[in-house]
Structure 1
């Protein structure tokens, strides 16, 4: 074998080995590009872009626990059945019934042909259960609230979708006045906004446009709208650049105040806000009862730490004394209060409300932020309620404490 043959053979062997190794080689795929979540600061803190879209989303909510007691304000659970005394009363009734049945039997043996009615007429009334004792106890509520706020920019302005859902676990009074527990879910808000329009379920413009009432929890002990101001609505809001805003809307009402024809409730308002405070007003027409109501509110920032406000309402009562836009007694009512900020963590809030029918409510609390995102608010209230004819129904004190972790 010459040198040339040896070289050619070696080259062929090397080529064969190289080809075999190439066939067995692992090909590593190029990594997919990673799209990290981007912060969206256009609408404020907490928003981020939904991956693959230009929509900004904010996820929020809170966990809340309320404990209430007393006969005033929101109050506790009052005059509930004493469960142990109920058992005893039922046993006493069973014993009395057995004795009565035995007496009836003896009576009928001694008086052949006699009936139960004859036995009762002879002075043996049929036994009944005695009155059962009642107690007062706490009202408890644990709530988990979820909020989603989605926004994006379009040629017609900001497109927004917002939802707020509450999940509650409450103590309640059930059949027979017995305490019980119940869970429920409620849609607080579910609406769309675009180009100044809002459509969906939320609070009535009659309540929200003037800023509800004060910073106390029990701000509606004398209602500044209907007792329940949830509603479906179509609202248009105009905002200028100088602090002026105006809104007009059509609303469906809720519960007993839901519209009963194709004619909606109508509401409109205007407001002017500056650094010193602001003034706002709103008027509503209830299509069910053909009644009108209106409110005017003044807010004053007395200093960096003190803010004051007062609001007055008036409503007609030709066909109904209370309706969707007038929850107070009589034609007129007034509300007023203020907030004093002691420091970044602590504030004092108070509110007084009075209606023409002599209803009166006084509420005060201390709101204390223990750590960022966690607030505790003890609150006390005194209420005096009357009929529309000014006859007293009840009065009393009530207290509550709220623990809330917001995120």
Structure 2
């Protein structure tokens, strides 16, 4: 019996081996596993079959906002609104003789504007072309309603150069962009008209034990009238003590007789001097608190002349899990007979 069983098993193995070699049988497909690419930081991986590294990142936010409007000139109704927005970004990089060749695009969606192509650019070495954040400093207060300096918090189609390896943490940059934020085909000049552009520049130092500092400026032209805008801003991000950060900035913007420039309340202005101070403290590993104040000194000569404006915010940010945060904030803005109070809470998922 043992002999018969052994002979049968041998015949089965031989038959199977022979059958596996028969002509026409497909060979097992090779598996090309995704490999980690650590040359450009965490999150990158090689696209199978290529030398290009790719990173996919994104964010989803959902929350609720309560707004209370007051004053004789604020005619908006008090309201409670639900909010949801998201973005996904694709960052592809390849080493070349010209340096790193990078392409990036980002799709953004929100509850008011639908789906937008928020960024789409190609970067080779120091040079970036396409739809991008321009180089001037757009930092504002900390928090949900970050209250930025508008001329520097600007995304448009254009070209820029940013050199960040001058030594000692020093960097310098400059760029030229469309003067509007159209993401399709913004017209910067047509026959018989002046060019409509924004030119921006920045110089600063970063990566220091005390923090960073920069000075930036913008000049925005329009294809009619003489109401061009120019502005300059100085920003300091300071590390005062462990877990405590401070941001201070001052900016001046000249808007050309109030037709192109508005303050935080939406009132027309000739020029605005901005002063802002904000602080953030990491209470525990998951919990951070922050507060900020911003004061706008306004010069206006139009019929709807703006007054000086003061704005402040106070908020908390709690990490429920890695990449998942619960945030809450209250904001208040006041200008003569206009005022507004806002309370916001939202859940944020980042990857």
- Pairwise same-fold verdict (TM > 0.5): yes
Q: Could you say which residue in structure 1 is the equivalent of 2:45?
A: 48
Return 5+ residue gaps in structure 1 as ranges. Answer: 1-21, 80-135, 171-182, 386-391
Q: Could you say which residue in structure 2 is the equivalent of 1:406?
A: 350
Matched, 1:168 2:110: yes
Q: Could you say which residue in structure 1 is the equivalent of 2:239?
A: 301
Equivalent pairs, count: 304
Q: Could you say which residue in structure 2 is the equivalent of 1:100?
A: none
Structure index of larger Rg: 1
C-alpha spacing 1:300/1:29, structure 2 compared with 1 (3 Å): same
**C-alpha distance in structure 1 between counterparts of 2:179 and 2:291, whole Å:** 29
C-alpha spacing 1:25/1:253, structure 2 compared with 1 (3 Å): closer
**C-alpha distance in structure 2 between counterparts of 1:227 and 1:370, whole Å:** 33
**C-alpha distance in structure 1 between counterparts of 2:60 and 2:162, whole Å:** 31
- Maintained 8 Å contact 1:72/1:382: no
**TM-score in terms of structure 1 length:** 0.68
- Maintained 8 Å contact 1:297/1:310: yes
Shift of 1:230: 2.5
SS at 1:149 equivalent: strand
SS at 2:241 equivalent: coil
- Maintained 8 Å contact 1:246/1:270: yes
SS at 2:48 equivalent: coil
The 10-residue stretch of structure 1 (195-204 or 254-263) with the greater mean CA deviation from structure 2: 254-263
Shift of 1:299: 1.7
- Maintained 8 Å contact 2:263/2:296: no
Match among 299, 321, 339 for residue 371 of structure 1: 321
- Maintained 8 Å contact 1:226/1:325: no
**C-alpha distance in structure 2 between counterparts of 1:50 and 1:25, whole Å:** 33
Q: Could you say which residue in structure 1 is the equivalent of 2:176?
A: 250
Shift of 1:309: 1.5
Q: Could you say which residue in structure 1 is the equivalent of 2:129?
A: 199
C-alpha spacing 1:255/1:263, structure 2 compared with 1 (3 Å): closer
Shift of 1:322: 4.0
- Maintained 8 Å contact 2:151/2:218: no
- Maintained 8 Å contact 2:330/2:341: yes
**C-alpha distance in structure 1 between counterparts of 2:124 and 2:19, whole Å:** 60
Shift of 1:266: 1.0
**C-alpha distance in structure 2 between counterparts of 1:373 and 1:49, whole Å:** 23
Q: Could you say which residue in structure 2 is the equivalent of 1:237?
A: 162
The 10-residue stretch of structure 1 (336-345 or 248-257) with the greater mean CA deviation from structure 2: 248-257
Pairing of 1:56-205 with structure 2 (within 5 A): 56-71=53-68, 78-79=76-77, 136-169=78-111, 184-205=114-135
Match among 262, 267, 272 for residue 195 of structure 2: 262
Q: Give the helix-richer structure, 1 or 2.
A: 1
C-alpha spacing 1:72/1:48, structure 2 compared with 1 (3 Å): farther
Match among 269, 286, 293 for residue 345 of structure 1: 286
Return 5+ residue gaps in structure 2 as ranges. Answer: 1-17, 299-307
Higher RCO, 1 vs 2 (CA within 8 Å, ≥6 residues apart): 1
- Maintained 8 Å contact 1:337/1:352: yes
Shift of 1:78: 5.0
- Maintained 8 Å contact 2:61/2:346: yes
**TM-score in terms of structure 2 length:** 0.78
- Maintained 8 Å contact 2:221/2:229: yes
